[in-house]
Chain A
Amino acid sequence: MMDLKSNRTGVRGAHGQSADVDSQVETKEAEQMEAFMRRIEAGDKIESTDWMPLEYRLLLLRLIHMHGISEIMGAYPEKEWVPKAPTLARKLSLLAKVQDEVGHGQLLLRVAEDLAEPIGGNRDSLMTDVFTGKVKFHNVFHMDAPTWADAGIIGWLVDGAAIITQTALLDGSYAPYTRVLRRVCAEESFHMQHGESIILTLAEGTKTQRQMLQDALNRWWPSLLFFFGPKEISSPVEKMMKYKIRQRTNEELRQKFLNRYVPRIHAVGLTIPDSSLHRDADGLWHYQEPDWEYFSMMVRENVGPKSAERIHLRQAAHEGQAWARQVAL
């Protein structure tokens, strides 16, 4: 914490200190930064109590905060299907999955809190930032899930995509995040089976059931491609790679998703709504790009089909339960 303070005053060079003190602070900081990068390059793992540059802290905070809030907002499209699930067994497994996702949010926000604490953040601000649009959540959780097949596609392909992006972070440099991710991924393996089980039943079913599944896939396909992020390597991604927070680009992960899932989607008799989709001789997938601007705006401005409704529900829940948090004190 002391270090972070000196880091910030060092950058600003303020507080009426003489130029001498300032340059001493800067030298010390440069040395700390160098030592930190040596640790990163050597594959060392960083703990929350270790010195870290402010840039590293903020990159992680942004990533983990968004991840945690996305887990919580991600429970909403599926929670809508809990009362309407077709059988008791489906209701139980969907409920279990929703409970897991909210649990993932709790674990991740705890990691984010430790990063935010030295710069003045806490659980309440991390939670309420989603109401004011200060923190974003994944595009897929802004979308409508009008049929039971959508619940199946979410479990199968949205979770499938999320598992790929999360496993890509398992070997990252920030140890508290990787420990939580290990637990999260272990639970995701149940989500994977749960999703497959739903879509298999529909794929084995009547013509109407198969059509319902096809319609859901058509609805979700562009969102799924967008989920991995833009093709270009953005400056935050580049920095995260420099700090070994992540080691794979968005496009590499999207390619891995296509590798795993396209053959399975075809196997169950579904058609991917993209006639240009193909794999070239080098094994690289070519696909019709999602409408980048449409989805970016949805995430940026919370203007997706369900954004406002779900944020409103989240806010009502958070504020409606404020009294309970208070009496527990």
Chain B
Amino acid sequence: MEGVKEYGAYEVFVQRTHQDAHVHVGSLLASDVSMAILLARENFLRRDEAVSLWVVPRTAVASVGGEDVDFFAREFDRSYREVSGYADNALRWKEFKSRALSLDEVIEDVRKP
């Protein structure tokens, strides 16, 4: 029916700090966007701190998953894309009486004045 409001599902995303991405926390039923925002605050932010909240009508979410396992299939070993795929570097540096560098070490060093 035209003009009659209906309750619909909204997906809720919360951003904890400005340096984090928005994270999906759940969904709720609401009559419109402003009700969804109000309910999201009551449902999901009673304790947790946040800097931003998104509500998205479920109908606006395009998704892939569930039974479509092929989409996520890993046909090949992908360890060459991971730090862990180069674990032998550490031993090899040792041979040269030095050690492998880690990202955390660099971050910490750059933060130091």
Which of A's residues lie within 8 Å of B, judged by CB? 45, 47, 89, 92-93, 96, 160, 163-164, 167-168, 170-171, 175, 178-179, 182, 185-186, 188-190, 192-194, 196-197, 200, 203-204, 248, 253, 256, 259-260, 263-264, 267-269
A182 touches B19 (CB 8 A): yes
- Is B21 on the interface with A (CB-CB < 8 A)? yes
Q: Which residues of A contact B111 (CB under 8 A)?
A: 171
A189 touches B80 (CB 8 A): no
Please name the residue on chain A nearest to B78 by beta carbon. A96
B18 touches A175 (CB 8 A): yes
Give the segment of B1-9, B26-34, B65-73, B86-94 that binds chain A.
Answer: B86-94
Partner of A96, one of B80, B88, B109: B80
A178 touches B18 (CB 8 A): yes
A93 touches B96 (CB 8 A): no
Partner of A190, one of B19, B81, B95: B81
Which of B's residues lie within 8 Å of A, judged by CB? 17-21, 51-52, 80-83, 85-86, 88-89, 92-93, 95-98, 100-103, 106-107, 109-111
What 17 additional pairs, Cβ within 8 angstroms, besides A167-B103, A196-B89, A267-B93? A47-B52, A163-B103, A178-B18, A185-B103, A185-B107, A188-B103, A189-B83, A190-B81, A190-B82, A190-B86, A196-B86, A196-B101, A200-B89, A200-B93, A253-B110, A263-B98, A269-B96
B86 touches A197 (CB 8 A): yes
A179 touches B98 (CB 8 A): no
Partner of A193, one of B21, B100, B106: B100
Docked pose: A256 CA to B52 CA in angstroms: 36
Please name the residue on chain A nearest to B51 by beta carbon. A45
Q: Which residues of B contact A175 (CB under 8 A)?
A: 18-19
- Chain B proximity of A60: nearest CB distance (Å): 15
B107 touches A170 (CB 8 A): yes
- How many interface contacts (CB-CB < 8 Å) are there between A and B? 89
Most buried by B among A188, A193, A259, A263: A193
Partner of A47, one of B17, B18, B88: B18
Docked pose: A47 CA to B102 CA in angstroms: 30
Docked pose: A22 CA to B83 CA in angstroms: 58
A178 touches B80 (CB 8 A): no
Docked pose: A188 CA to B82 CA in angstroms: 10
B83 touches A190 (CB 8 A): yes
Please name the residue on chain B nearest to A156 by beta carbon. B101
- Chain B proximity of A279: nearest CB distance (Å): 16
Instruction: Kindly list the 8 A-B residue pairs having the minimum CB-CB distance in the complex, ordered from nearest.
Output: A45-B18, A267-B98, A193-B86, A189-B103, A175-B18, A93-B80, A267-B96, A167-B110
13 contacts between A and B (CB under 8 A): A45-B18, A163-B103, A167-B107, A178-B18, A179-B19, A189-B83, A190-B85, A190-B86, A192-B103, A256-B109, A260-B109, A263-B98, A267-B93
Docked pose: A194 CA to B110 CA in angstroms: 22
Q: Which residues of A contact B51 (CB under 8 A)?
A: 45
Q: Which residues of A contact B103 (CB under 8 A)?
A: 163, 167, 185-186, 188-189, 192
- Chain A proximity of B36: nearest CB distance (Å): 19
- Chain B proximity of A269: nearest CB distance (Å): 7
